[in-house]
Structure 1
């Protein structure tokens, strides 16, 4: 944070801000780049990141809970819905009734969100600034083929770690915003230092862009399986972080997607025509 405040005095673009109480604008303007200004972090890390072993280490960094039960997820099947149809049919909504999400469906959603797509370079389904992958995925499940509880997704192994059976669903949301029809939540968190060491304050922008791409991937995959999906902004950051047992500083929640099973309507294996 010290670096951010120091930029207030060195970034010539800061003079554009009229209201110093607007922290969002202070941050946005002071994380801008120009031809005559570049983050010192980006310069100092360029040589380090050019080393192949270092790059591989960063791309394979993810949290693990070795003392918790690891549950492999089913193999991912090809997505059958044409992209054009998925884009046209995507909606931010859930069904009124809560239906179970199968473990096969959850496997598809997690892989679509942040799954592995390359064995050698360890690329993921969502773009990440510098391929540093600061985002982690958790699942808080109350209605699915998995037993109710909190899980952590391991992208590199395509499985989940069972963290806890205890959670308080209602307290996860600001009063009046609990998503009706949600079977589970997919929570995206960010381990900020994975990106900050290279991009400095600007890394926060990249992290939020990555979280948005993850959510969109999940939503498009949900279309293929006729699942309800709702990117949700009414969660309680503090309570979600408390139940995930993360500190909210070095790692913090940045996005939540609610997913609901759909007992009616078109089945996921029906034929689809492209637009």
Structure 2
């Protein structure tokens, strides 16, 4: 695993994530019962194990033979992209990282703490600044449209909801809270994250340790 000390200026390193855990101490029934939207967080950074588990919950591969993932996808077209704005982590520098599900790793995309810029693009909603990690789910509708045509947009939005709920439930098991943010200026979020052509931001999920456990 690469750490902050291994990263040289001007490079675009990949960060291998710890393998996701496939068993825990909290039942799915308990996560459903305890799921709540959380808007304030304890003042502590997340660690790479937690980030690994949350990214995997959103879009991780569950079966290598066919690439099936944790969230259902219409026709296995997998239009979603997961970006993580991280701050204060000991293992990696502040920046924007894209999750690579096939290799279960983070691809460094942008250097620096962009939470303030994202906060401004999302109607100045305070959880974005309070959270040490912010996940942004975007969708590339064209991937699904090749197979499903005009219905693709509907299917992509449904898939984003599946992924976001996975993150909520995984967060409960990790004592990590989140809240879904859907009010933002699409063009501004796209600019902040330097999203690729055709990628549409769909969800913002601030992530942080809960304060009541």
TM range (shorter): 0.7 to 0.9
Residue 173 of structure 2 is matched in structure 1 by 224
Contact 1:170 1:178 in 2 (8 A): no
Query: Normalising by structure 1, what TM-score?
Result: 0.68
CA distance in 2 between partners of 1:98 and 1:186 (Å)? 18
- The total of aligned residue pairs comes to 198
Instruction: Check if 1:99 corresponds to 2:44.
Output: yes
Deviation at 1:167, TM superposition (A): 4.6
Residue 154 of structure 1 is matched in structure 2 by 100
Instruction: Check if 1:115 corresponds to 2:65.
Output: no
Contact 2:61 2:67 in 1 (8 A): yes
What RMSD over aligned residues (CA atoms) do the two structures have, in Å? 1.8
Residue 177 of structure 1 is matched in structure 2 by 125
More relative contact order, 1 or 2 (CA 8 Å, 6+ apart): 2
Residue 253 of structure 1 is matched in structure 2 by 201
Return the index of the structure with the highest Cα Rg.
1
Match for residue 75 of structure 1 among 2, 19, 24: 19
Deviation at 1:96, TM superposition (A): 4.6
Query: Normalising by structure 2, what TM-score?
Result: 0.86
In structure 2, the residue corresponding to 1:93 is in which secondary structure?
Answer: coil
CA distance in 2 between partners of 1:96 and 1:114 (Å)? 24
Structure 1 residue runs without a partner (length 5+): 1-66, 267-275
Contact 1:79 1:221 in 2 (8 A): no
In structure 1, the residue corresponding to 2:78 is in which secondary structure?
Answer: coil
Distance 1:154 1:71, change over 3 A: same
CA distance in 2 between partners of 1:92 and 1:204 (Å)? 26
In structure 2, the residue corresponding to 1:121 is in which secondary structure?
Answer: coil
More strand by share: 2
